[in-house]
A and B are shown apart, each in its own frame.
Chain A
Amino acid sequence: MAEAEEPLFVGLSDISISQDIPIGGEITIPMRSHTQEFDSSTLNESVRNTIMHDLKAVGKKFMHVLYSRKSNTLLRDWDLWGPLILCVTLALMLQRGTVDGEKDGGPQFAEVFVIVWFGAVTITLNSKLLGGNISFFQSLCVLGYCILPLIVAMMICRLVLLAGPGPVNFMIWLFVVAVMFAWSVIASTAFLADSQPPNHKILAVYPVFQFYFVISWMILTFTPQ
């Protein structure tokens, strides 16, 4: 290959620039300029516009998680608003009123928070220590957003349980939670496993499996009174 290229570059030394050739132009990467526009203009736009912009970004990422397409939006434009909203929703839905004046043993708000965030941080640290090349916050973002299927399962389960406790309802509930658990694991694995060298893939994916299993179990043990 080197021999084929040599004739191309051999004549370069003969070129001399005698007159001023205007060398100018624009070096812009379309993507960066797009966000730069936003960055400079968010100071001037109204608060409502900023909030709607962020909410739309979060909503777009929800769609990416639900349809599990292999897109890089979650990794490139990571944000932690989505995981925060999802975690608060999950913790609120797992609360139930105190029965008979006693704490009925369900997960407290703080416990859910701690499990979700410390679990995500631990998995991220684990994946970085195993040599993955995903950044810390990207990984937190992916893990947080992939809780969305389980939130959907939780909402479906509350509706199902409104119909009354019974073995058929419980079977439906179990099936829905199992399907959403699988969806969460597959969605997050699609992002996280690619960043690992091949001999570490299972080592990196197993904690993710365990994380979503614990969240699914928290949802399954929820019995509304």
Chain B
Amino acid sequence: MELNDGNLQTLTEYLRKTLNPDPTVRRPAEKFLESVEGNQNYPLLLLTLLEKSQDNVIRVCAAVTFKNYIKRNWRIVEDEPNKISDADRTAIKANIINLMLSSPEQIQKQLSDAISIIGREDFPQKWPDLLTEMVTRFRSGDFHIINGVLRTAHSLFKRYRHEFKSNELWTEIKLVLDTFALPLTELFKATIDLCQTHANDVSALKVLFSSLTLISKLFYSLNFQDLPEFFEDNMETWMTNFHGLLTLDNKLLQTDDEEEAGLLELLKSQICDNAALYAQKYDEEFQPYLPRFVTAIWGLLVSTGQEVKYDLLVSNAIQFLASVCERPHYKHLFEDQNTLTSICEKVIVPNMEFRSADEEAFEDNSEEYIRRDLEGSDIDTRRRAACDLVRGLCKFFEGPVTAIFSGYVNSMLTEYAKNPGQNWKHKDAAIYLVTSLASKAQTQKHGITQANELVNLTEFFVNHILPDLKSSNVNEFPVLKADAIKYVMIFRSQLPKEQLLQAVPLLITHLQAESTVEHTYAAHALERLFTMRGPNNATLITSAEMAPFTEQLLTNLFKALSLPGSAENEYIMKAIMRSFSLLQEAIVPYIPSLIGQLTHKLLLVSKNPSKPHFNHYLFESLCLSVRITCKANPATVSSFEEALFPVFTEILQNDVQEFLPYVFQVMSLLLEIHSNSIPASYMALFPHLLQPILWERTGNIPPLVRLLQAYLEKGGAAIATSAADKIPGLLGVFQKLIASKANDHQGFYLLNSIIENMPPESITQYRRQIFILLFQRLQNSKTTKFIKSFLVFVNLYCAKYGAIALQEIFDSIQTKMFGMVLEKIIIPEVQKVSGAVEKKICAVGIIKILTECPAMMDTEYTKLWTPLLQALIGLFELPEDDSIPDDEHFIDIEDAPGYQTAFSQLAFAGRKEHDPIGDAVGNPKILLAQSLHKLSTACPGRVPSMLSTSLNADALKFLQGYLQAANVQLV
């Protein structure tokens, strides 16, 4: 591509087309540009256009296109072709600084970004003169140019704030410091002087202050990794000037905007960060300056207003004080009673006030308000910063600070009492202050767990919280109501039980409040109270104690779901779930009406699932309804099926992916309740459950396996007779699962159920193939997890079909296979099997091999007899071997059986542990003794001789113990 007018013209046309809203015009133009961008001179054409085009739109468009081009192509990736010719690279680097500096701001920004992308790759080695070129512009005196340079420098250097120390990085920083630090310092001083010269020229000041902000940001980046020698030597200059700027005010720079931070605020905020950086990392060197900064920042806080635009500055400034006041060697700066009082009065209290912005959020943006207030996403807010400062001060001055605030709390409450309608915000602040003063440690699960002993929480509750909760009009002063509810909730572990019981019916009443925040808080508080544990780990509040309120509670919770804004309120749904779980059989009378409401809700949300937590708790509530009702009367299961199946069918038909795992779990729960038969409605669904597409989604696998297990348990015989053609499909699922390291244990769950529940003849023809698949996997990728599951399966097979059947099928696949599996897998690995049921299965299987398999007695397998017995005794007596080979450590945690966060497991759909051996074998050790006895009587003399020749002494001792306990002797 030549650099000529023709090409410039073409490019201009295509650029213009890329702005066309019509995709049939825009897309081909974009494609064209992409197709030519590999040509030499393409970037230079763009640069020419952005500099010289007559059309401003084209200039900006060329700039953006250029930046994106650089972003995509500048990096040279190893083994891939260089996408920009060296000549173009050199030309770009030679011109871009000048171009950037002489362009209008809109274009300047794009070019500045491009420079930092290039710089990230090329600086310093391949762009050695970049910095010097930039630094020389400092002397230009033109602050439009200077700010361009500073902005570019900032985007180049800001990565120093988060990258790890490395020699490469530090070499670069050193180079930057050598070239940049001194000119930057000179510029800083000169800019400050100019601010004085132009103190009355607002437009000049604006430019100068944005320079100062950028300079302060650069200071932060350059000082982040370590304190550079240059800045240590020049600390006086920088800190004195920073201090001066912190205390400076200029009417001309004040903005009218209430929301957006002005230049002064941005600058001071950055200076607070710089001071905090030095205080944290370079304390030894910064110590002489620190007290001055404390005073200045404190002064700043006292004089800064309530507007939102000051929020960042104020919260940065308070956080600075909070971090300093905790340090023992600065304690003295805060010690004086007047200082403390003044900080409490002028810094903390004003920043705890409920502002109009908070009020707006409370009313119009309740979700955001709740997230901030309840879930702690308030990190950068003033209230939060003030709270942290209270906590910091309490470290050394808990007594005095508590005393000072007690006075404030009282006076604020008095103000409120005088005229609640006018002064309700005073009470809000008082409650907030008490909360922040009293809470020393907090968790979601328990609320406040450690409180300031100097604050009497119960007294405050009785005198100031309870009256609000009791007020007859739930819709009056909703903020104070929400405060009162929150107080109960977070101090629940600190308040006596009788107070909590007193609060419960009041909270139930507040579920009816119109305010979303208020009824949400009420639901949340109830939910939290219901999870509290009393002595003996029972719930603190019992179902009996709730009896008088049960109906009201359930009614109000479901009514609250119909309040505006709360149709899918997760807090309410969680409270429903928790209430069911607490009340247990007390809910049974209400279920017929509630189940209708729940299924109706389910139908609605399944159209467009958008609140995952809400949906989850909805399904949990359904499970609870089923469990609790059917526990009392299993026959009611059919009425649930009647209510739920129509909705479930819709969900399955519409393939609502988010809900399928839930549906499978609820169906499993329902099916498991049936006594040993399988209703036709389930059988009709069976073929659909084997569809490969369902098994492609990992979240479906655990619940589907469980559902198939339930089918097999209840209807193994029915499947064998009426759906025998589906058996290959079922085994196909097993084969798919077994092939995956992540899901193989699920495959074994399925296989074990097949072996256990299907009539033997129905699977005879598939057995050999099943084992071949297992052996192939064992050969190709043997993992500890697979071996553990394999051992359980092999022994279950043995327990079910007998040892001879096992030996014969193994040896029919390959000669001496049985011996190899015993020697290489069972004997060395059985110690790794975990779980009581799994161990029992292995024990029974091995006992059968030892005592019911003739091949073990008269072939070359005989040599494995004692080692196998020894392994079995080891399984009984030794601790589980939880070692894992080194090369398996990388396997993800998700691969471990039992760890199932990947799918949405329902806590209340839980399945009882299944024991296929069951009561048939009470104590496997006794079974071993008895079986050995039987064997020894069949072939007298052989067993004792095998034992005495090679069983080790410890094992023998244990074995004798078993024989004694079983009261048998070997002959």
Q: Do A and B come from one complex?
A: no
Residues on B lying within 8 angstroms of A by beta carbon are none
